[in-house]
Amino acid sequence: MASFSRLGRALLAGLVAALSVACSGVSGSLPPAPAQGSAGDYSYLVGAGDTLNVSVARNPELSMTVPVRPDGKISTPLIEDLHVQGKTPAQIGREIEIRLAKYVRDPQVTVIVTSFVGGYGEQIRVIGEAARPQALPFKQRMTLLDVMIAVGGLTDFAAGNRALIIRASEGNKQYSVRVKDLVKNGDISANVEMRPGDVLIIPQSYF
């Protein structure tokens, strides 16, 4: 809980600073967000609210679909309260195999995420002058254009070219993005790749 609080305070401080920058109209002095294709390999980390299909080879009675509870844990036959939040499906499968080895000979477990919500550290948050500000589950190769489609574009009062991204994975580093050019003018050169935990801030226009 302490580490989460520190992360929350750091993100809040970053948001306050970013809002000050966006509202002051100097977001153009920030470096532009890295172009598409800059992100490395990504492995999905399970979060509370996800749904997992746990399949145990040769043991259908031990196979089932389970939700990840708000405490980040799941329960399956013979296994209670296995913490899965923040782990990859493959890691979860190996942990279940270790637990089942007490009861089943040479268990082989496959874990598939069938419904995605994602942990808070994985979500993309959009605030400000988007048509539908919200948090979105991150997907590999997700771009700014994908995000803007999901939130319904810009409002009539948006200063889209003064928007910025706070990148939690880089210590809350701030990048400028040209959302108006991308959404209103179809300028694909303004499209950038998103990262897990990004916060997109779209300020209001002065007039």
SS (H, E, C) 84-136: CCCCCHHHHHHHHHHHHCCCCCCCCEEEEEEECCCCHHHCEEEEECECCCEEE
The predicted-structure confidence for 40-76, as pLDDT tens digits, reads as follows 678 899 999 999 999 999 999 999 999 999 999 999 9
Domains parsed from the chain with CATH numbers: 2-42+120-202 (3.10.560.10), 51-115 (3.30.1950.10)
Residue 1 pLDDT:
42
In this model, does residue 174 exceed pLDDT 60? Answer: yes
Interatomic CA distance for residues 20 and 26, integer angstroms: 9
Interatomic CA distance for residues 199 and 123, integer angstroms: 9
Interatomic CA distance for residues 163 and 178, integer angstroms: 7
- Model-level pTM greater than 0.75? yes
In this model, does residue 21 exceed pLDDT 60? Answer: no
> Which one is predicted more confidently, 120 or 134?
134
Cβ contact 120:108 at 8 Å:
no
DSSP 204: B
Cβ contact 31:170 at 8 Å:
no
CA nearest neighbour of 161 among 27, 44, 41, 49: 27
Phi, psi (deg, nearest 5) at residue 81: 55, 60
| CA dihedral of 150, 160, 28, 144, whole degrees rounded to 10 | 20
- Adjacent-strand bridge partners of 201: 127, 164
